[in-house]
Amino acid sequence: MFGQPLLRNMNKQKGDFSLKLPHTFVEKMNALLQEEAPRFFASYEKEKVNGLRFNPLKIERDAFLALAPFSLSPVPFCPTGFYYETDDQPGKHPYHAAGLYYIQEPSAMFVAETLQPSHGEKVLDLCAAPGGKTTQLAAMMDNTGFLLANEIHPKRVKALSENIERLGITNTLVTNETPEKLAEYFVGYFDKILVDAPCSGEGMFRKDEEAIHYWSEEHVHQCAVKQRHILDCAYRMLKEGGILIYSTCTFSPEENEQTMEALLQKYEDLELVAIEKSAGIQPGRPEWTKTTLTAIEQTARLWPHLLLGEGHFVAKLQKVSPAPTWKGKNATSNVTKQTLREYRAFEQETLTINIEKTMYSFNQHLFALPDDCPSFAGLKIVRAGLHLGEQKKQRFEPNHALALALKKEEIVHSLELEDYTKYLRGETIETGGDRGWVVVTIDGYPLGWGKEVKGTLKNFYPKGLRI
Ligand SMILES: C[S@@+](CC[C@H](N)C(=O)[O-])C[C@H]1O[C@@H](n2cnc3c(N)ncnc32)[C@H](O)[C@@H]1O
């Protein structure tokens, strides 16, 4: 349902936010922006805007708009993105648990749009948690090809993995590695790489006031050093002709224009590719580089005073000369006949489809690997494609991820409920049926498993997700 959140939000005043901004940051932005600075600082007095992206892996745009009980208006630079009103609280709706959308800051949606991965490509999201861009990339790839989503921090990788599960993503390997380790494995492997870099977060001050407390000039410098190191690793993993996207949510030229300038000076075979700009998106600033590099105008800046969203920087580069080619092998199945037989017996009873992928088992857990999945021996794997379930004594127990990756017509027994809170709270539900494995659906969209035995549905909604 379309509403007018833009105008209402634009007019909401937030109080004197600029008073909380670090003094040195204010001085620096004044010096950089000069006569534009008052408009920039005025944006801190406005309420932040909220965004969500519907999930085209599960629902089409018109069906989503007909179903969503929120006030929505389109984000001009992302076809799947919408602004919503703060009072809507889409994160609390069962449609969120069903993975029909991902809540994401609107400017952040522009990054994956710039990468534009195609079906069947090999794509790396090197700094991926909590998964805003990974989930967008996987949807653009229509769950085909191979997507490696990596996150260095063990706690943050869990959130990434859960979001991938909720959105029904099946083409992704989730790893918890350093960029250096991945660079040893994947020399010249990827068609497209996203480095959504850790940064000083200046563009998020309005959304996340904690970022203000972390800010210092020293932190900006440390981030710039870290970013260059991550980019070195990304460069090694890019194949000839491959595309690299670099993005931050900060304003500082040291982390943006100057990081790109240093990268281009270091690697002669990297070239900037022009990013198409519309809807208030601005070019990067040559005058903020050390060598007044004109080509930097091809990069993009999203400013909170010029569009409805927070601050972002995006650059697109291409590797133009021959690169070493990948020498690795693809993963092969390690599954025993017995495990496969038990899974197929479950599948025949429960699903109307056969999942024909390379099967892989970690301990008793069975996964359907993404197409052309490279061998991952020695890497810290958090999720390997679609988690089908666990082999228990003489039976197969399906995983939550499988329910969330299915369409209603792929399920033999499903159950619509009048009251979803009971299911999402993990309670047992009296159904009167005796059908075995059942997928609980909301308006036909899977929420999770239940096992219906002698009139009662035993609840398999994961404990960690219960409300
Ligand atoms: C801007 S956030 C990524 C946001 C994510 N792409 C999304 O759209 O949801 C940057 C990520 O980089 C990770 N990071 C921090 N230090 C890193 C390093 N040295 N190498 C790789 N990633 C790092 C952080 O943990 C963080 O999750």
CA dihedral 436, 437, 443, 448 (to 10 degrees): 140
In the chain, what percentage of residues exceed pLDDT 70?
A: 96
pLDDT exceeds cutoff 70 at 14: no
Residue 11 predicted with pLDDT over 50: no
Q: Average the pLDDT over 134-155 and give the result.
A: 98
Residue 15 has pLDDT above 70, yes or no: no
Q: Output the CA 121–ligand 1 centroid distance in Å.
A: 22
The per-residue pLDDT for 1 is: 39
| Domains, in order of start, for the chain | 1-103 (3.30.70.1170), 407-467 (2.30.130.60)
**ipTM for the whole complex:** 0.99
For residue 198, which atom of ligand 1 is closest to its CA?
10
Q: Which ligand 1 atom is the nearest neighbour of the CA of 130?
A: 9
**Atom 6 of ligand 1 has which residue's CA nearest to it?**
128
Question: Per-residue pLDDT averaged across 387-409, rounded?
Answer: 95
* pLDDT on residue 6: 41
350-382 pLDDT per residue, tens = 999 999 999 999 999 999 999 999 999 999 999
State in Å: Cα 309 to ligand 1 middle. Answer: 20
CA–CA distance, 396 with 399 (Å, rounded to integer): 10
**Residue set of the binding site:** 127-133, 151, 196
In this structure, which residue's CA is closest to atom 22 in ligand 1?
A: 127
The burial class, CB within 10 Å (0-12 / 13-18 / 19+), for 393 is exposed
The residue from 78, 199, 249, 373 that is catalytic is 249
Confidence of residue 102 (pLDDT cuts 50, 70, 90): very high
**Ligand 1 within 6 A of 133 CB?**
yes
- Which residues, 6+ apart, have CB-to-CB distance to 304 below 8 Å? 40, 43, 44, 107, 203, 206, 310, 311
Tell me the best of 152, 167, 181, 380 to mutate to test the pocket of ligand 1, counting ligand atoms within 8 Å of each CB and taking the most: 152
**Cβ 173 vs Cβ 228: under 8 Å:** no
pLDDT by residue (tens digit) across 191-212? 999 999 999 999 988 877 888 8
| Poorest-pLDDT segment among 242-246, 338-342, 386-390 | 338-342
Q: Is the pLDDT of residue 216 over 70?
A: yes
More confident position, 208 or 56 = 56
Binding residues for S-adenosyl-L-methionine: 127-133, 151, 196
Identify the pLDDT of residue 3. 40
In the predicted structure, residue 391 carries a pLDDT above the cut 70: yes
Ligand 1 contact via 179 beta carbon (within 6 Å): yes
* Omega before 154 within 30 of 0, i.e. cis: no
Ligand 1 atom nearest residue 249's Cα: 1
Average pLDDT over the chain, rounded to an integer: 94
pLDDT at residue 451 tops 50: yes
| Angle subtended by helix axes 217-237 and 257-266, to nearest 10 | 40
User: For ligand 1, atom 2, which residue shows the shortest CA distance?
Assistant: 198
% of the chain exceeding 90 in pLDDT: 90
Q: Mean pLDDT across the stretch 461-466?
A: 97
CA of 151 to the centre of ligand 1 (A): 6
pLDDT band at 415 (very low <50, low <70, confident <90, very high): very high
CA of 41 to the centre of ligand 1 (A): 27
Instruction: Give the chain's length.
Output: 467
pLDDT at 13 over 60: no
pLDDT recorded at residue 445: 98
Q: What is the pLDDT of residue 10?
A: 42
In short, whether 129's Cβ falls inside 6 Å of ligand 1 is yes
Mean pLDDT in residue range 390-396: 90
Per-residue confidence (pLDDT) for residue 17, from 0 to 100: 62
Please tell me the predicted confidence (pLDDT) of residue 193. Answer: 98
The pLDDT assigned to 341 comes to 94
| Averaged pLDDT for residues 449-460 | 98
Give me the mean pLDDT over the 32-53 stretch.
Answer: 94
Q: Known catalytic residue: 373?
A: no
Q: Is the CB of 152 under 6 A from ligand 1?
A: yes
